[in-house]
Structure 1
Amino acid sequence: MNLGRSLHRQQGSELVEFAISATVLFILLFGIIEFSVALFDKATLTNATREGAREGILFRTGERALVDMATTEDPVIEQAINDYAEAFLISLGGPADLEVNIQRNDRNGNDNFDAGDDLTVSVDYPYQFLVLPGFLVGLGDVLTLSSTTVMRAE
């Protein structure tokens, strides 16, 4: 009789143990997926800045005055970055909202972008978590991913 009473008291304990361990397991699983997507997006941003910098350092004939770069070459660089990001970023909220910053270092001081001058392309991307913020308090809804590429003009 004592054995029957003991088994009756333990009914449902497996369900409680499963609920506790499954919660931890699912948080861990979704955390792995979430941070894997964030790392993939970080690598994609790095490649996007490289594509933009490659576009900006290509040799072009004629004078390339630094004052004209914002209207002539910067849109081409930004378009290359946006095209790459649109093709490869995992952004479930629609098109990526990228903040692109382009700077040039005139090494010889002639106010032209010549061979040997540096081009710096930076991108900031507000990565929005897919699942985790609803489960874990303190992470916030947005993580800013950044990438910077510096290349020397040809």
Structure 2
Amino acid sequence: MISEPTRPEAWGREHGAAAVEFALLLPLLVLLLFGIVEFGLALHRHQVLATASREGARAGIRQTVPRPTAGDIQQAARNVLTQAGVAGASGVVVTGAGGASGTDLIVTVETPYRFFVLPSTVPGLRGPVMLRSRTVMKHE
């Protein structure tokens, strides 16, 4: 006859260990998840700003008569921001609009970005973070 292996009595006291470990690690896992989501949203916003500054610069370097003005370039950048759903862009700064062929045109787009969940847990993220993108192109 085969007998059952004997179990030490300590095995019976470990039933809740996995639940306790999970309860200890759950806040860290949730914080990591929210961090990934929030930094992904910030990266997306930065990519929209980069696209807006590129489109503004591209609109400004075209060889047209009359040459695009700073207002035309700003409007091209703001159109991209509007299409992407970015409201409240604090600034589209244009330097070198209407310049001679071969000179630099600089378009800078910036907007504040406020994290949603992380500021309550990470002290360094309490205020808004200024996201900025700068594009330099030569006039055609």
TM-score bracket relative to the smaller structure: 0.7 to 0.9
- Match of residue 18 from structure 1: 22
Q: Deviations over 1:71-118 (max 9, x none)?
A: x712221111111112225x5xxx23231111118xxxxxx6222121
- Match of residue 148 from structure 1: 134
Q: Deviations over 1:27-83 (max 9, x none)?
A: 001101111111111111111100001111111225x5xxxxxxx712221111111
Q: Identity of aligned pairs, percent?
A: 37
TM-score by length of 2: 0.79
Distance, in Å, in 2 between the alignment partners of 1:98 and 1:54 is 21
- Match of residue 109 from structure 1: none
Aligned residues: 131
The AA in structure 1 aligned to 2:90 is L
The AA in structure 2 aligned to 1:87 is Q
Deviation at 1:130, TM superposition (A): 2.0
CA contact 1:42–1:145 (8 Å) conserved in 2: yes
- 1:44 corresponds to 2:40: no
SS in 2 for 1:37: helix
SS in 1 for 2:123: coil
- Match of residue 116 from structure 1: 102
1:87 is aligned, of 77, 83, 88, to 83
CA contact 1:85–1:96 (8 Å) conserved in 2: no
SS in 2 for 1:145: strand
SS in 2 for 1:23: helix
Go from structure 1 to structure 2 and tell me whether the alpha carbon gap of 1:19 and 1:86 turns closer, same or farther (over 3 Å shift): farther
Distance, in Å, in 2 between the alignment partners of 1:142 and 1:98 is 12
The AA in structure 1 aligned to 2:56 is G
Distance, in Å, in 2 between the alignment partners of 1:61 and 1:76 is 13
TM-score by length of 1: 0.73
Deviation at 1:11, TM superposition (A): 7.5
Misfit runs of 4+, over 4 Å:
10-15
CA contact 1:86–1:96 (8 Å) conserved in 2: no
